[in-house]
């Protein structure tokens, strides 16, 4: 207990504000392994908040634990691309080797094995997180080795560094990924342009948000600058949670100065002195390198007071880690999370540009958007707008994964045809491409001549390829499970509806679904689209709608002919009674003889 | 803004609004009913139950959170919106354990009243039958989480009016649930009182004052006598509730 108290005191010495609760809990847990009720109460009383406040945060985030987790916590990324690479068999194999059930903590080795939402390693899966460190390219052999290491109690620090190697896999570089970059050059260029001059270049560029929604960045910056209030904030959304997306991982690993300078440029234009990078918990391994980069930038006077010697240009950046919640990619949920609360989307309007972090005007931009602001500072808005299409200027980085020879990042000018991407990444016999993740759109070969652009096929970057042998029903079912797991629970349609959709698809997968379930699914998808509080619920029905429309045989071969089969399986309901009676003969079963 | 400007059109009825009013507030004050559950006139808009989903100038919106603005044309009672509301009520029924005949809130329950209002005949979906323990530890108040619909009115009342923060919503998605602020998690170990505002805002039978459950017999209760659509607008127009 004393040790626990020491850890909490140590963490609270550096952070003592209730708005930092999530970071306090995360840092405490890194030391103690979990948040015990005593630890939670100690933190609550030190911060002067109700203990329920701590409880609601711990229970909301997947990576915070109110139960002991053991020395090794292994989480298999459960995106469809991991599954296509055989992740489930490896998962079962590991459970068997360690004699464990999913999610349970073994008493002897102190290890638990479970599934988690996409960890952003789709180009080098199957992937797992071991105590929040990413292990890529899992094979049966690697699973066996990990089991041995775990059984031998070998500390993770002594594991082969090869396990933790994360490749960038940049396959096609263009304006952003392909240009040489002199650190500080974009900042100097922006300072030379002046605050208004830089904003004018942003307007000329017509840069639109790369997180998927495509809102014009200059409009956002200008609205924030013009919003009443003294303090302003720049938030970089690096909660890259959309399954199949991993471009921000690479930008933050190998191009961080461009992201950070982009944030500082945004701060310069809107008059913000503080920036926050919201890094998804799955990218915890990037925290130390990014902190080191920030420190180096401060030393080089690229951050801090009077940046590049410009009087009055003060800007610095903190990093805030997420803890396993896809919903925090929604900008107002992200702000709630930054304020140390469960990530539940706010009522909008007001929008963050007027009422954002701590109620102050706040710009929330995607990692790629901010990195591209450095291009605009350097080469001007017109040059930037010269690439891409008229309504979608510049380039876009696609995260390509699935059935292709060369998964990885592909940067193209907007307007590229889907078929071009498929050709470049090495595919044949493609049945479908899921663009922009589960919340995006499923395209079939007759649509491959369409263009990646806001006006045609908009995307946040995910590009998952499915070959002819893939079962698109299982793709939709995987996505339905994802949405049910990630719904924040705030509004009725999404909280209950995502679970109802998941269950209906499971029933169909079980061979017990009929047209009745299909009708329910279509009705639910439309209800969620029209009444959900935020984009998660509004798009959660897309995969089942798309695949029902385009891959109907995948459903039909599973449907029973009758009108309806009850959800209650009478025979299964008797399982417990059979167990008690110690019987398993034919007469103890219902319907077996029928 | 002139008086004629300050009106919106709700299902082709002209409804005046005061500056700052939401569509729902304007509608109720004018005697026009829009179904709602998590809304309460004494609290800030919440927008979680989504029963007040409407279409405003062709776009989907929640009437309780969207501010009224001149020129809005609001659709409320269209066949599809009516059907969505019924589905939302069904969702709330199946995610909890709602057995009206055995519930002492029957007749005073807004969820039950809305089931009638939306013409719900069956729960339609498979019941989730969640395991939710009852908390009877408090001498004067019973907590029956089986009936909780997560509108957070008790959370808001206890925090914003009683200044006690006895309740909070924890968890995510289907695991969301109300928790109680005491070391044991029991209501009996808090400073909660039956006189608290939070003891009287629950729209369903999750927070019940003990020993008064059947002082008004079933059949003579609020919504037994008057449908919720009439009760809600009468109260709003009369300034009661």
Each residue's pLDDT tens digit, A299-323:
999 999 999 999 999 999 999 999 9
Q: Mean pLDDT, chain B, as a whole number?
A: 95
Instruction: Report if residue A18 sits inside a domain.
Output: yes
Query: Does the CB of A41 have a partner CB in chain B at under 8 Å?
Result: yes
Residues A305, A177: one domain? yes
Domain of residue A204: give its range.
172-385
For residues A465-491, average pLDDT: 98
pLDDT above 90 for B170: yes
Answering whether pTM is above 0.90, one says yes
Q: Which residues of A touch B149 (CB under 8 A)?
A: 492
Q: How far is B165 from chain A (nearest CA, A)?
A: 7
CA distance A150 to B2: 75
pLDDT above 70 for A81: yes
pLDDT above 90 for A451: yes
How does pLDDT run across B174-213, given as a tens digit for each residue?
Answer: 999 999 999 999 999 999 999 999 999 999 999 999 999 9
For residues A95-121, average pLDDT: 93
Contact A334, A278 (CB under 8 A): yes
- Smallest Cβ–Cβ distance between A347 and the set B45, B50, B175 belongs to B45
Q: Where are the beta strands (DSSP E) in chain B?
A: 7-10, 13-16, 53-56, 59-62, 73-75, 134-135, 141-144, 167-170, 177-180, 207-209
Contact A5, A39 (CB under 8 A): no
Interface contact A492-B92, CB threshold 8 A: yes
Percent of chain B with pLDDT over 90: 94
Q: What local confidence, expressed as pLDDT, does residue A569 receive? A: 81
For residues A107-117, average pLDDT: 91
Query: Does the CB of A333 have a partner CB in chain B at under 8 Å?
Result: no
For residues A96-122, average pLDDT: 93
Domain CATH code at residue A551: 1.20.1440.230
Instruction: Report if residue A573 sits inside a domain.
Output: no
How does residue A540 score in pLDDT terms, banded at 50, 70 and 90? very high
Buried b or exposed e, range A468-505, using 16+ CB within 10 angstroms: eebebbbbbbbbbbbbbbbbbbbbbbbbbbbbbbbbbb
**Which ipTM value was assigned to this complex?**
0.96
Instruction: Report if residue A323 sits inside a domain.
Output: yes
Domain CATH code at residue A155: 3.40.30.10
Residue ending a domain, among A431, A452, A469, is A469
Residues A270, A367: one domain? yes
Query: Does the CB of A153 have a partner CB in chain B at under 8 Å?
Result: no
Query: Does the CB of B125 have a partner CB in chain A at under 8 Å?
Result: yes
Residues A45, A186: one domain? no
Give me the residue label for tokens 């031998």: A152
Residues A342, A283: one domain? yes
CATH 3.10.20.740 fits B7-77, yes or no: yes
Query: Does the CB of A487 have a partner CB in chain B at under 8 Å?
Result: yes
pLDDT above 80 for A470: yes
Residues A337, A262: one domain? yes
**How buried is B102 (Cβ within 10 angstroms: 0-12 exposed, 13-18 middle, 19+ buried)?**
exposed
DSSP H or E segment with residue A149: helix A140-151
Residues A362, A236: one domain? yes
Residues A242, A303: one domain? yes
Instruction: Report if residue A56 sits inside a domain.
Output: yes
- Residues 42-71 (A) with a CB less than 8 A from some CB of B: 50-53, 55-56, 58-62
List the CATH code of the domain at B84-212.
3.30.70.20
How many domains in chain A? 5
Instruction: Report if residue A588 sits inside a domain.
Output: no
How does residue B4 score in pLDDT terms, banded at 50, 70 and 90? low
Q: What local confidence, expressed as pLDDT, does residue B235 receive? A: 84
For residues A82-93, average pLDDT: 97
pLDDT above 80 for B239: no
Phi-psi region of A77 (alpha: psi -120 to 50; beta: other; left: phi over 0): beta
Instruction: Report if residue A334 sits inside a domain.
Output: yes
Q: Where are the beta strands (DSSP E) in A303-451?
A: 316-321, 362-366, 395-402, 408-413, 430-435, 441-443
The beta-carbon contacts of A355-358 under 8 Å, at least 24 apart in sequence, are A356/A233, A356/A235, A357/A233, A357/A235, A357/A276, A358/A19, A358/A231, A358/A233
Instruction: Report if residue A569 sits inside a domain.
Output: no
Interface contact A50-B181, CB threshold 8 A: yes
For residues A360-376, average pLDDT: 98
Residues A262, A131: one domain? no
Contact B161, B61 (CB under 8 A): no
Domain CATH code at residue A343: 3.40.50.11540
Residues A404, A428: one domain? yes
Instruction: Report if residue A85 sits inside a domain.
Output: yes
* Domain range annotation of chain B: 7-77, 84-212
- Smallest Cβ–Cβ distance between A59 and the set B94, B126, B171 belongs to B171
CA distances from B174 to A243, A490, A497, B131 (A): 21, 10, 10, 12
Residues A416, A329: one domain? no
Residues A490, A465: one domain? no
pLDDT above 60 for B3: no
Residues A314, A177: one domain? yes
């Amino acid at each position: 207990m004393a040790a626990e108290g020491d850890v909490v005191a140590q963490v609270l010495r550096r952070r003592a504000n209730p708005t930092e609760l999530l970071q306090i809990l995360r840092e405490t847990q890194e030391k103690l392994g979990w948040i015990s009720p005593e630890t939670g109460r100690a933190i609550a009383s030190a911060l002067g908040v109700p203990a329920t406040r701590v409880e609601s945060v711990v229970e909301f985030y997947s990576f915070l634990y109110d139960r002991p987790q053991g020395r090794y916590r292994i989480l298999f990324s459960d995106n469809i691309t991991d599954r296509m690479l055989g992740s489930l068999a490896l998962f079962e194999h590991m459970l068997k080797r360690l004699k464990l059930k999913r999610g349970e903590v073994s008493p002897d080795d102190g290890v638990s094995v479970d599934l988690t939402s996409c960890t952003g390693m789709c180009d080098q899966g199957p992937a797992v997180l071991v105590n929040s460190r990413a292990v890529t390219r899992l094979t049966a052999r690697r699973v066996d080795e990990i089991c041995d290491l775990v059984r031998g109690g070998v500390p993770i620090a002594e594991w082969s560094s090869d396990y933790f190697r994360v490749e960038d896999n940049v396959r096609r570089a263009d304006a952003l990924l392909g240009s040489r970059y002199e650190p500080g050059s974009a900042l100097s260029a922006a300072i030379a342009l002046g605050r208004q001059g830089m904003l004018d270049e942003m307007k000329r560029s017509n840069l639109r948000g790369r997180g998927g929604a495509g809102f014009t960045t200059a409009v956002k910056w200008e609205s924030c600058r013009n919003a009443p209030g003294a303090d302003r904030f720049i938030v970089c959304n690096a909660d890259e949670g959309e399954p199949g997306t991993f471009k921000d991982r690479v930008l933050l690993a190998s191009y961080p100065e461009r992201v950070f300078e982009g944030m500082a440029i945004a701060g310069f234009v809107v008059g913000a002195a503080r920036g926050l990078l919201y890094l998804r918990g799955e990218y915890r391994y990037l925290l130390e390198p990014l902190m080191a980069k920030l420190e180096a930038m401060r030393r080089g006077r690229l951050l801090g007071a009077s940046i590049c010697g410009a009087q009055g240009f003060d800007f610095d950046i903190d990093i805030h880690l997420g803890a396993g919640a896809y919903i925090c990619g929604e900008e107002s949920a992200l702000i709630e999370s930054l304020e140390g609360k469960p990530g539940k989307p706010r009522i909008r309007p007001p929008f963050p540009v007027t009422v954002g972090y701590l109620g102050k005007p706040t710009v929330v931009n995607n990692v790629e958007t901010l990195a591209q602001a450095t291009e605009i500072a350097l080469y001007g808005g017109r040059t930037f707008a010269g690439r891409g299409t008229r309504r979608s200027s510049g380039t876009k980085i696609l995260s390509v994964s699935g059935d292709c020879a060369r998964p990885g990042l592909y940067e193209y000018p907007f307007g590229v045809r889907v078929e071009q991407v498929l050709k470049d990444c090495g595919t044949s016999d493609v049945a479908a491409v899921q663009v922009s993740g589960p919340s995006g759109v499923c395209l079939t070969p007759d649509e491959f001549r369409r263009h990646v652009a806001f006006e045609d096929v908009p995307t946040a970057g995910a590009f998952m390829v499915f070959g002819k042998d893939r079962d698109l029903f299982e793709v939709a079912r995987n996505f339905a499970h994802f949405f049910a797991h990630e719904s924040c629970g705030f509004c009725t349609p999404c909280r209950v509806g995502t679970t109802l959709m998941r269950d209906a698809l499971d029933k169909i997968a079980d061979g017990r679904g009929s047209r009745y379930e299909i009708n329910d699914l279509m009705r639910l998808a439309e209800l969620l689209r029209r009444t959900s509080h935020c984009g998660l619920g509004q798009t959660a029905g897309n995969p089942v709608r798309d695949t029902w429309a385009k891959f109907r045989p995948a459903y039909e071969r599973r449907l029973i002919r009758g009108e309806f089969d009850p959800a209650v399986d009478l025979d299964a309901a008797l399982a417990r009674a059979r167990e008690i009676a110690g019987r398993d003969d034919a007469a103890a079963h219902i319907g077996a003889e029928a | 803004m002139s008086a004629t400007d300050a009106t919106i059109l709700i299902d082709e009825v002209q409804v005046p609004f005061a500056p700052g009013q939401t569509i729902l507030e304007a509608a109720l004050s004018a005697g026009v009913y829009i179904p709602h559950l998590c809304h309460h006139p004494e609290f800030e808009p919440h927008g979680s139950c989504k029963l007040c989903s409407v279409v405003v100038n062709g776009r989907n919106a929640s009437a309780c959170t969207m501010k009224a603005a001149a020129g809005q044309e609001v659709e409320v009672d269209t066949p599809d919106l009516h059907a969505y509301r019924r589905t939302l009520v069904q969702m709330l029924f199946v995610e909890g354990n709602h057995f009206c005949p055995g519930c002492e809130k029957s007749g005073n329950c807004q969820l039950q009243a809305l089931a009638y209002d939306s013409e719900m005949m069956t729960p339609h979906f498979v019941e989730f039958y969640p395991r939710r323990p009852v908390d009877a530890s408090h001498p004067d108040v019973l907590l029956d989480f089986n009936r909780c619909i997560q509108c957070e009115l008790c959370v808001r009342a206890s925090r914003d009016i009683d200044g006690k923060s006895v309740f909070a919503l924890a968890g995510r998605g289907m695991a969301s649930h109300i928790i109680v602020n005491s070391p044991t998690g029991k209501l009996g170990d808090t400073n909660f009182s039956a006189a608290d505002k939070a003891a009287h805002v629950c729209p369903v039978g999750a927070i019940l004052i003990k020993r008064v459950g059947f002082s008004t017999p079933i059949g003579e209760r609020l919504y037994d006598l008057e449908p919720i659509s009439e009760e809600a607008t009468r109260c709003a127009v009369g300034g009661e509730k």
